[in-house]
Structure 1
């Protein structure tokens, strides 16, 4: 007997001939083959990108346990991201939350059909756009105790207490100067965004292992029209050269994860309440 399965939804898309050709070569979680589940609504054709997953691993009780398992989460997140990125190379894509599941294809199709208009409007806003991330890091040489020790070595011989206070003041001055540079860099990036992007999402700065040994002070995502992508990246690179005390990093291109949810105050077609029969799911960044 085949174990019970649920329908896992990766994204909303508009089918294309390129996607039809690529789909047989793409696999989802558990190496399951992907398929398109079209909407029954009239108008612009839309489809869910779906695959079967074991009910025992993706029912509501199992998900609560799995969300405590970092290895499982990493595997599912990476696989989900891989599917979305692969689809994005072939067709317009609206990424959905990781672990968005339905009891069966019928329930999933009902949800897609009910939200056809909202999904279609959001997909139109993302069409021919790509997400890029821009991060600003303070380098260790400007924020670490090494700066303090190096500064202390340049002072005249004096008591240990006075030497310590001088070094601390010098270190604080250095940090303030670098933070000012970061503010100026952020303003320059904002000016670039006015000309080359259509939307921005401010993510919280990365902390801990995600930021490694450098302090992350800006972590923004931008929705960039495809015809503006090269100019946007070149402008950011030029800004980075103007601020050698900082590390300014561009990531991407990504499928538009950060922009799959509408701005605050507008309905989210991917919200759990719009998915009858779907357990709570978490959105994962790329």
Structure 2
């Protein structure tokens, strides 16, 4: 039976295998609605009924410019997904995936059942971890400059500038090499790995420049070993700083782009 109410859309949170009502508990969604299941092709989509006045295409375009609104919606979306993943594997859908009615969601499940099945197999028993690598502060070359230059203040200034540039370039080359080694080491400990564009300083909450933004899909039983390896990468490399984040829902390894 199709559920279609004028002025309402169907917000898609995630896809899982089992429509277990206990997994949703007393959760509320992005519009303070109670999430529910839509089943088809042996899969269960977790959805919520949302007003198109706030969650339709035009409204979302407008509301996404309100960072407070966007932050609240993102947290509510993620809370539903986390609750599902606490009980079993689930495919988290990207923010603002909205359909006009239940039949459109059923069609998605039926037409892409094989893709969802493969993705669910991929994330079963695994968690996503993030590793952000930042450029460490450069040493002050003036500390090695010695006494006053006999060539005068101007020449001394130019020498310090050149030393600073050379030091920075050397540090950035070392940092890139160290970050690459760290990524390869951590990827070898994961089932799958990928990288995202580095975040801005404001978004990352760091003064230092991010040079690698990695995501790693790790078996539950290997989580401790992975965390220890990330900590060792931070301690063993002087040109970079390594920050481990997570665990997260496996967004980086289970996202299916909408057709």
Q: TM-score range by the shorter chain?
A: 0.7 to 0.9
Confirm or deny that 1:213 pairs with 2:207.
yes
Q: 1:131 to 1:162 in 2, by over 3 A?
A: same
Aligned counterparts of 2:67 and 2:187: Cα–Cα separation in 1 = 38
Deviation at 1:249, TM superposition (A): 0.7
Residue 65 of structure 2: aligned partner? 68
1:21 is paired with a residue whose SS is helix
1:131 is paired with a residue whose SS is strand
In terms of mean alpha carbon deviation, does 252-261 or 61-70 score higher?
A: 61-70
Structure 1 residue runs without a partner (length 5+)? 262-269, 274-286
Deviation at 1:256, TM superposition (A): 0.8
> RMSD value over aligned CA atoms?
2.3
* Paired residues of 1:240 and 1:247 also in contact (CA < 8 A): yes
Written as runs of structure 1 = structure 2, the 5 A alignment for 1:191-270 is 191-211=184-204, 212-261=206-255, 270=256
Aligned counterparts of 1:187 and 1:7: Cα–Cα separation in 2 = 42
Q: In the TM superposition, what whole-angstrom CA distance separates every residue of 1:234-261 from its partner, at most 9, and x where no partner exists?
A: 1111121112442111111111111124
Residue 284 of structure 1: aligned partner? none
Residue 115 of structure 2: aligned partner? 118
Deviation at 1:72, TM superposition (A): 2.3
Structure 2 residue runs without a partner (length 5+)? none
Aligned counterparts of 2:92 and 2:72: Cα–Cα separation in 1 = 17
Residue 267 of structure 1: aligned partner? none
Deviation at 1:66, TM superposition (A): 2.1
* Paired residues of 1:155 and 1:163 also in contact (CA < 8 A): no
* Paired residues of 1:9 and 1:49 also in contact (CA < 8 A): yes
Confirm or deny that 1:131 pairs with 2:128.
yes
Deviation at 1:194, TM superposition (A): 4.8
- 1:157 pairs, out of 124, 131, 148, with 148
Q: 1:238 to 1:208 in 2, by over 3 A?
A: closer
Task: With the length of structure 2 as denominator, give the TM-score of the two structures.
Answer: 0.87
